[in-house]
Amino acid sequence: MNVEETELPGFGVRKDFVTASGRRIGVVELREGETELFVSTWDDPDTCQASIPLTADEAATLGNLLGGQHIAMRLAEDHKEIPGISTRQFSIAADSPFQNQPMGKARIRTRCGASIVAIMREGEVVPSPGPDVILHTGDLLIAVGTQEGLDSAADILRHG
Amino acid sequence: MDPLALTLIELGAIVFCLGLLARLAERIGMSPIPLYLVGGLGFGAGGLIKFEGIQEFAHLSGEIGVILLLLMLGLEYTAQELVTGMRRSWQGGVLDLVLNFIPGAAVALLLGWGLVGAVVMGGVTYISSSGIAAKVITDLGRIGNRETPVVISILVFEDLAMALYLPILTAILAGVGFLGGLQTVGVSLAVVSVVLVVALRHGHRVSQAVHSENSEIFLLNLLGAALLVAGIASATQVSAAVGAFLLGIAISGATAQNATRILEPLRDLFAAIFFVAFGLNTDPSSIPPVLGFALLLAVVTTATKILTGYWAAKRAGIAIPGRFRAGAALVARGEFSIVIAGLAVASGGVASEIVALATAYVLIMAVLGPLAARFVEPVVKSLRPPPPPAARRQETPAVP
């Protein structure tokens, strides 16, 4: 993917690329730490149909959603051969009993046999997280396991 | 009444009125600058209400306002951005200078204001308002647009050009001859180059010198440094405003961002007082006689700015609607035109009609600029035939 970077003195840096359907999509990283998400119109790739200001948290969450989907799909592809194994994503809500706690405290593998294979955090992937990794609000956990195991993992993460 | 009490009441009334005007400007989505100017016209010589005893304060505050305006302009850019911007867009910048300086200078010569008047009016019509342009770009959601870097690079060029223009103007206004003028140009070129090199190599040291975690110390350091540098620059005829601009460029990185945040309220206050002080010194009855010329200049320099943006955007490979958007974003004139006219007033050596013409011109352009930026697109679209439906790319694959 060819991402173009353009300096915007006084504003920040624009990073964008052209999608297969012909739209330009990208972000402007503003100096104040905020992000502007934009997408061009279909008839004039120079202009923007929408330009949406995102706070740092919102940008990180959006990054997790986009990246998490991608990882989950790849994992699902990998496990296609093994019947009964699925991939699912869990996000850590603000009221989760495990926010700001080490992941090992949830004892998910011991209690339901599901494995957390990656954590999406602020648009970055933490691969094979160990039990010491501290969970934060907005983290997206990618888990692999049986349907029942994943169901009970979801329950544990929500209610403890 | 006690003169101090009277002064405080007058000052309070003015600042309070500015607050009301700024609120009105925000409500109708325009720049507050023209309203501040109108406010100043109403309070000053020959206006509706006459205020006495605050001239001295207004004058000094106005000077500080100019210093803060330019300091914060310098803080916006790093030396690196200025140098690369200059390299990439100097052709557009030169075209901008030629096309937009000439109309103002020509009208001044036509009205018999001589070389000094021509240099002043040329500067007034040349320099776009980067404040209004930045607001237009943000408000209209054009920050991700492809033509936006073109607009910004022209604004950057103008700001650098001003670092050379203001010292020349100061020298001419001080009445030095041709040789003296050349000498000033040489000195200011040397100073600007030295500051750019220092800022590129040792910007972090300058930043360190003023930086502090404590916001009170930081503010005092910044303001003290800005006034000192401005004063020294003024004493060496490089113009106080340019000194502040160069200091702003030398401060970089996180320090610059913190400085912007901390200085913004001060800049807003003193710049508002500057615009009012400028209006205070203008007699409203002197405006109608020059209104015709102000309108003529407005029409001509709107066209020349659009042409500038069109040409520069075309060079950058932007399609036709984007070229017009780039041009229209540059139309607004504002704070820096008033800074130039304000320097002319302060020197006392120019015809009073110049001030009236500059005021009327900026009043028109500060209102017209954002309107042009907003409506250029629908106008261009309505004049061009719509693209055939086949041109629309399919975003979702058709269901088989």
Contact present, A10 and B151 (Cβ < 8 Å): no
Low-confidence ranges of chain A (pLDDT < 70): none
- SS3 of chain B: helix, strand, coil, percent, to 5: 80, 0, 20
Q: Which of A159, A137, A146 is nearest to A88 (CA)?
A: A146
Alpha carbons B256 and B266: distance in angstroms, whole number: 15
DSSP state of B147: T
Q: What is the pTM of this model?
A: 0.80
A14: helix, strand or coil: strand
Tokens of B239: 């113009």
- Contact call for A50 and B78, based on CB within 8 A: no
Cβ–Cβ below 8 Å for B146 and A46:
yes
Task: Give the model's pLDDT for residue B86.
Answer: 79
Residue ranges of chain B whose pLDDT lies below 50: 390-393, 397-400
Q: Which residues of A touch B (CB under 8 A)?
A: 6-11, 14, 16, 21-24, 26, 28, 31-32, 36, 38, 40, 42-48, 50-51
Q: Nearest 10 degrees: CA dihedral of A67, A68, A72, A73?
A: -40
Those residues whose C-beta lies under 8 Å from the C-beta of residue B22, and which sit 6 or more positions away, are B32, B35, B272
Residues B217 and B210: their CA atoms lie apart, in Å, by 9
Instruction: Spell out which residues of chain B touch residue A8, defining contact as CB-CB under 8 Å.
Output: 143, 148-149, 152
- Domain range list for chain B: 3-381
pLDDT for residue B249:
87
CA-wise closest residue to B302 among B277, B332, B280: B332
The pLDDT value recorded for residue A21 is 85
CATH class of the B3-381 domain in this structure: mainly alpha
Residue A31: per-residue pLDDT: 81
Q: Does B87 touch chain A (CB under 8 A)?
A: no
Nearest to A48 among B77, B141, B156 (CB): B141
Q: What are phi and psi of A144, to 5 degrees?
A: -125, 135
What strands lie across the sheet with A86-91, from one edge to the other? A86-91, A140-145, A115-121, A124-127
Token pair, residue B106, equals 């020509």
Whole-number pLDDT of residue B390: 45
**Which residues of chain A neighbour B148 with C-beta distances below 8 Å?**
8, 14
Distances (CA, A) of B146 to A54, A61, A92, B241, B318: 20, 27, 38, 32, 7
How many angstroms away from the CA of A50 is the closest CA of chain B?
7
| Tens-place pLDDT, residues B355-399 | 899 999 999 999 999 999 989 888 888 887 665 554 444 555 444
Query: Rounded distance, CA A72 to CA A86, Å?
Result: 9
3-state SS of chain A: helix, strand, coil percent to 5?
30, 35, 35
Q: What is the pLDDT of residue A25?
A: 92
Q: List B29's β-bridge partners, or say none.
A: none
What B170-179 contacts at long range (C-beta under 8 Å, 24+ apart), as own/partner pairs, is: B170/B237, B170/B238, B170/B239, B170/B343, B171/B237, B172/B115, B172/B116, B172/B119, B173/B116, B173/B120, B173/B343, B173/B344, B173/B347, B173/B349, B173/B350, B174/B237, B174/B347, B175/B349
